[in-house]
Structure 1
């Protein structure tokens, strides 16, 4: 998901709407707009907090304070020290007939001011507390007395039950790191991968940058950091994602998989009904802020802003840049099946349809015999086209088929009912998993609406998956939603013995509305060209999924290492195949942890250099160092998909009912995209992608190297030496299939579900 190199081609003389401007101060204008957007978000959240409870206080706390003041006043005590009398004097006299009412109003105004001041004090105190990063520097599993005190104070000032956005106005601003430290860390990070000559040249460029341009660029970033709450996030969204003109498919979107070894029901409509109902239950909890905020390492709250655009969101293409359109609400989903588009309502009289009713509506779509209209079948390929091309065609489409286009773009999300099965099969487990990953990432190029925040994909055998547009949020946000969806539709909603959703159909519901596209002749050729380009892009991506079950997180913990550091270094070993020893491995793991903690505390390298580069482009300052940094092509792009809600899954009794994660396309034409997820304590699943057109990469070859590297690293520890002997003693290929597929049958049969992929 490393796409920062896309910012290289942006035009610094463009405003947000694409118009040319003078150079009189474009960077100051952008800083002003960033702050304006930031303050608008703060105000909107303040109003939302006021309606749902002003965290960490609540409306009841105001009532308690007002009652206490009234009681004190009744007892002839003045807690306001004379302020209420002054307030009464400023209120209208009303002829002296409402003297008691004036007293009540004065008490209410004083209580409101005191209440607001107390809340403001709590927010300031919490912001100061959250600025402490000392806990990150402590050894894993150890907690000093100052950190324990800090954690207790954070919990006290956070209130008893913080809601999703409770911390937003108390989070400290993103700090701007020292530019000298950032350059030093960057040089340290590239030293192992550059030759002596290249590194010396890079170091010279870095020193020249520090001497000539760094202080001016840093000044602008500090100015922005004081005006906006985050000095980099809005620029990252705009220049990395929204200004990119590349197709979204493969280049930007990513996917999330279903349970790997089981499918709760083989009925496509039933699985769609339960999944859509579960997703909309999540949206309901999201709107009510009933989702607990994410805590880093269980202690420090993370920003929840990205949750705001999960649903009712579409990335609208533009000629120069896209923009994100988010609706407050939507009570329908857009459904695609066999080349036809449908508008399917999800609510009846303002209440969510039951899973069985939703299943009925999906079944009606599946049973609809009407054929696709000419060019309608491949229409969605336009969303997989280069963004400028799609923007121009969309202008004509919006004129000729406005109602149908609005039904799709205004939907809560997009649902694709695929006509083919997918998922793990007994006959060819490796190939079937690879095909499953490819179907989720690219599909057939015309059966996903890639602009939507996400597309729910339901295959003919009941297998599920997500295709997610990346600009609105990062993977942990959609991963959190997906965990809730799988756990809810499987364990909470469940299925009847015949595989249908529980409950009864509703025959009074109207049929889903078939969307009619009046496609003008001039866009027919555009659809054909978009489909051709999408097929080329789809056929060029090589997806490979590696379920590794010889060991998992529990073994890594026994080695007293960070699980993420263990995997990251194993991936580097798989990529370069350098010999390692235990001492060097521990040094590398410690270094990875130090870099990770620096990034977590806002002292990372990547975003700071990116923001400095953006400022330099606005100012037309040529920096060879920054240009080189942001033109580098990273051949190994990795990401972990964290399992954040283990309480939703019973991994001991149902070990196979855990999401198998997801993947993304390679960031470089000659590189790899690798995603991994820890499935419980005993398994790790890797999702690998590369370009078939590259002669330097092969996803299956890297998958073999990853398995070898994991075993090599494990064998450095006495507790893991037997894994390598067991793996190689049983034969590599047979062991791979056995540990990745057949060994999971026990867990699958243990769970009392309707059917599996077997």
Structure 2
């Protein structure tokens, strides 16, 4: 209890000898420092807000403009054409002395001119950012005249060194597609899924919808488009995520595996022989762990995450730019830290706190509050490791109900909402729950090992070992996705998980943002972990503690028997869900995007076609396929759906299964399918998608109480194959900068030629009960991870089997295209 007392500022008791006051001065000082930090943060955010409102201008340029106007005016050269005199005579002389009034009039005119020029520049940029013709430019061909002019104008108008949110007001609004375009695209997308009679039925439903309520719904949606920054995102968050009453574990949350891939690929061109040796080395020694000490790894990544949070607060993280010209929307970054999803009986809500000075830590059934600042200074990893070591040494038993408490966040939402409302509204339970919910994030110190590819980098991997490694990847993925159902707090924006032997993964609540946002943060954390902080010879954190920080606070709970019954009920629901998950990580290392690019095919389109072929072989028929595409070229954009199963892809798949079709015809159909997929992807990114528009029309119909058989059919169609690519968004320049900061270390451990570090990607649960969820990451030129999920209870699916089909499809496509390359080479030789 001594540690718990440190969490309160003072306490007093009344006894025979009078009042006995116990004051914790350390906590009083911590509160003062916290207040100072909050005011500094507000001050910085205010300055950033001013800077962002003027971008691509700058406040200093505004001051310079006012100064130039004043100097010219007092030198007898009036740049205002008597506007300054008018301001002086009619406004400012009433309130100020004559000389001061003229100065203020000059400053007012100069500021006004600068604001107007900035507004013109902002309006011009917004219009330029609305042009997306550059996206449809074929890679490898010369830009046309219009894209060239557009590129020059953007470079002239855009400002230098934008902060994270500088470009938010410059981003265009997501366009509202026309009804005719959406309905035509929809009918084309479902043609491969239906026979003639079913397709004709869908055509009739679409025509009936168009002739009855569609135009009315479109008019109401147009009004929402007029008054909102994005007509989709708020409804998508509310109705798709927060209104869901089923468990978010597996069904909504996603996970990331953060094994470090060392890519020693040289930047300069190498001979074929050297490149082959380099790639062989990658295959046999891809996985490196910087330490095996759990608390050291946890301390480094936690401090790195807080460094990243500081950069977010200061807005020094640069916005991601497409083609180094077009900024992507950064609004999702705002709720990355200090955020929690609060359960409700009918709908959940997202609560974001402006700041947090601690993290919540779980270890062996016990919850702790760990302070990350001392005297307004962020702890160093060596100081944090001492606190985490103390948690590991703590022999205190969990309070009644504490060990399985987090299972409430893993079960159905109404049960958790009822328990929270009944048993966590006051007293010690409220204080402890707030300590978790108001934490920057949650850190789990797992009590299990994950042995994945831990080996000497010169030791080759046998086929049997490789298969065993894949099985361990599956165990690792299961652990990060759902754990035991009670050792993850699924409501927090993200949770770091560090195993007993220092393997790192993360679990993310999905409603507040999409996967690339978390991926960006984790890649930053990885580079800081390895190159900025590092470890000593024993695997511990570096440095010497500067002071004795506050001890970790063991959170106390008073959980009644009735509440424990609800916890166990929620845990039972969670077990039923995660025991049904069939999760498999398929490692494709025969070839990767290098070969695909040589064949002049988009890697993403290529992989999507492989998935179509694999799924057709697995199920025997075509199914509705979902691929997530981002819409962050627009303000507050999130995602749109690319329907990967198309007429073109189905024709190619049938050709691959028909022995009478020639290889030349198969290749032709494959290229047509990839080209059409790329066209769909570009359309989705530029606001010409199908599904978000139809979804919003459906929401409007429900608000108006209008039923539409067509919209009901569309929204009820199951996504039997749900896919997503995990991008590697890491800033390579930042990585090289970090290497430059530690040249001796980089050279000593052989990282001077290091091109980048990437994880093994991540995944999510299946969307349909009898379908697959597939997430993939193109980790390097010769390595792709596929995370495949399905339900064991479905007789139609098997994740291991589907992984084998993916491998076979990739091999067949390589054989097909290698034949084309050989024929092209032979033809060239004969011509010569």
1:666 aligns with 2:759: no
Offset at residue 719 of structure 1 (A): 6.7
Offset at residue 554 of structure 1 (A): 1.2
Offset at residue 350 of structure 1 (A): 1.7
1:314 aligns with 2:340: yes
1:355 aligns with 2:381: yes
Aligned to 1:141: 140
Q: Any residues of structure 2 matched to 1:488-637 within 5 Å, and which?
A: 488-506=528-546, 508-577=548-617, 578=653, 579-580=655-656, 581-637=666-722
SS at match of 1:374: coil
Q: Distance in 2 between matches of 1:131 and 1:318?
A: 39
Q: Distance in 2 between matches of 1:325 and 1:335?
A: 20
CA contact (8 A) 1:53 1:59 kept: no
Aligned to 1:688: 788
Q: Any residues of structure 2 matched to 1:83-482 within 5 Å, and which?
A: 83-91=83-91, 93=93, 98-142=97-141, 143-259=143-259, 261-395=287-421, 396-400=423-427, 401-425=429-453, 428-482=468-522
Q: Distance in 2 between matches of 1:178 and 1:252?
A: 31
Q: Distance in 1 between matches of 2:432 and 2:51?
A: 35
Structure 1: state its 5+ residue gaps: 1-43, 723-758
CA contact (8 A) 2:610 2:809 kept: yes
Offset at residue 367 of structure 1 (A): 1.3
Q: Distance in 2 between matches of 1:366 and 1:506?
A: 22
> Are residues 521 and 128 of structure 1, via their aligned partners in 2, closer, same or farther at CA, if it must alter by over 3 Å?
same
> Are residues 141 and 220 of structure 1, via their aligned partners in 2, closer, same or farther at CA, if it must alter by over 3 Å?
farther
CA contact (8 A) 2:177 2:688 kept: yes
Q: Distance in 1 between matches of 2:160 and 2:517?
A: 24
Q: Distance in 1 between matches of 2:765 and 2:155?
A: 40
SS at match of 1:473: coil
Q: Distance in 1 between matches of 2:65 and 2:710?
A: 59
SS at match of 1:679: strand
Deviates more, 1:251-260 or 1:291-300: 291-300
Q: Deviations over 1:201-222 (max 9, x none)?
A: 1111011111111111111111
Offset at residue 114 of structure 1 (A): 1.7
Q: Calculate the TM-score normalised by the size of structure 2.
A: 0.79
Q: Distance in 2 between matches of 1:297 and 1:275?
A: 31
> Are residues 557 and 289 of structure 1, via their aligned partners in 2, closer, same or farther at CA, if it must alter by over 3 Å?
same
Offset at residue 685 of structure 1 (A): 0.7
> Are residues 674 and 250 of structure 1, via their aligned partners in 2, closer, same or farther at CA, if it must alter by over 3 Å?
same
Q: Deviations over 1:700-744 (max 9, x none)?
A: 00010111111111222127989xxxxxxxxxxxxxxxxxxxxxx
Runs of 4+ in structure 1 deviating by more than 6 angstroms, as ranges, are 44-47, 719-722
Deviates more, 1:221-230 or 1:412-421: 221-230
CA contact (8 A) 2:52 2:165 kept: no
Q: Deviations over 1:103-134 (max 9, x none)?
A: 22112222222222122111111110011111
CA contact (8 A) 2:308 2:524 kept: yes
> Are residues 79 and 92 of structure 1, via their aligned partners in 2, closer, same or farther at CA, if it must alter by over 3 Å?
closer
Offset at residue 492 of structure 1 (A): 2.1
Q: Distance in 1 between matches of 2:374 and 2:731?
A: 33
Count of residues in Structure 1 that have an aligned counterpart in Structure 2: 678
Q: Distance in 1 between matches of 2:346 and 2:794?
A: 30
Offset at residue 91 of structure 1 (A): 4.0
CA contact (8 A) 1:381 1:447 kept: yes
> Are residues 287 and 49 of structure 1, via their aligned partners in 2, closer, same or farther at CA, if it must alter by over 3 Å?
same
Q: Distance in 2 between matches of 1:164 and 1:303?
A: 9
Task: State the Cα RMSD in Å.
Answer: 2.0
SS at match of 2:424: helix
CA contact (8 A) 2:48 2:315 kept: no
Between structure 1 and structure 2, the one with the greater Rg is 2
SS at match of 2:50: helix
Offset at residue 146 of structure 1 (A): 2.1
Q: Distance in 1 between matches of 2:770 and 2:452?
A: 28
Q: Distance in 1 between matches of 2:328 and 2:514?
A: 13
Q: Distance in 2 between matches of 1:347 and 1:442?
A: 30
Aligned to 1:675: 775
CA contact (8 A) 2:247 2:410 kept: yes
Q: Calculate the TM-score normalised by the size of structure 1.
A: 0.87
CA contact (8 A) 2:53 2:166 kept: no
Structure 2: state its 5+ residue gaps: 1-43, 261-286, 455-464, 618-652, 657-665, 737-750, 823-832
Deviates more, 1:258-267 or 1:627-636: 258-267
Offset at residue 375 of structure 1 (A): 0.9
Offset at residue 161 of structure 1 (A): 1.2
> Are residues 45 and 222 of structure 1, via their aligned partners in 2, closer, same or farther at CA, if it must alter by over 3 Å?
farther
CA contact (8 A) 1:164 1:291 kept: yes
Q: Distance in 1 between matches of 2:312 and 2:342?
A: 23
Q: Distance in 2 between matches of 1:653 and 1:571?
A: 34
> Are residues 52 and 587 of structure 1, via their aligned partners in 2, closer, same or farther at CA, if it must alter by over 3 Å?
closer
CA contact (8 A) 1:262 1:656 kept: no
Deviates more, 1:467-476 or 1:545-554: 545-554
